[in-house]
């Protein structure tokens, strides 16, 4: 059976994968359309969360390196250190906000994806 890769779904060749005006959907053999628009939002959310996590980790690691550098600590003023720690805390709040939003998106959209793939499986599984 021939397959077409669409987003993260593998769709057997008997279904038609379409992308019209930015809207992705599958036309099932019985003529029904199954939208995949949610996948863009889900993918972007996951990507954004990973990017923010990485940025926070880089900033955390840089701060840790500065804290461990005795020479730097002796020359850094209290105001500079406070500003550096405050900026790290601000980045952590942004990371936590993005993670909360991403979890809400995941909780909302992943069940749609699961349901869509169950429909595709049901429609495309040969009956005996």
DSSP single-letter state for residue 13: T
119 CB-side CA count, 13 A: 18
More confident site: 121 or 62: 62
pLDDT digits (tens, 9 = 90+) for 61-98: 999 999 999 999 999 999 999 999 999 999 999 999 99
Domain definitions of the chain by residue range = 3-124
- Find out whether 50 and 102 touch, Cβ atoms under 8 Å: no
Gyration radius from the chain CA atoms: 23
What's the whole-number average pLDDT of the chain?
A: 82
**How far is CA 105 from its chain centroid?**
9
């Amino acid at each position: 059976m021939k397959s077409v890769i669409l987003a993260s779904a593998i769709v057997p060749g008997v279904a038609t994968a379409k992308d019209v005006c930015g809207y992705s959907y599958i036309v099932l053999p019985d003529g029904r359309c199954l939208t995949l628009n949610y996948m863009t939002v889900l993918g972007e959310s996951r990507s954004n969360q990973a990017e923010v996590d990485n940025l926070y980790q880089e900033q955390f690691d840089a701060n840790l390196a500065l804290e461990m550098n005795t020479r730097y600590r002796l020359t850094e003023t209290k105001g500079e250190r406070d500003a550096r720690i405050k900026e790290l805390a601000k980045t952590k709040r942004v990371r936590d906000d993005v993670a909360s939003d991403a979890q809400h998106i995941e909780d909302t959209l992943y069940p749609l994806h699961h349901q869509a793939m169950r429909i595709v499986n049901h429609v495309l599984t040969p009956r005996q």
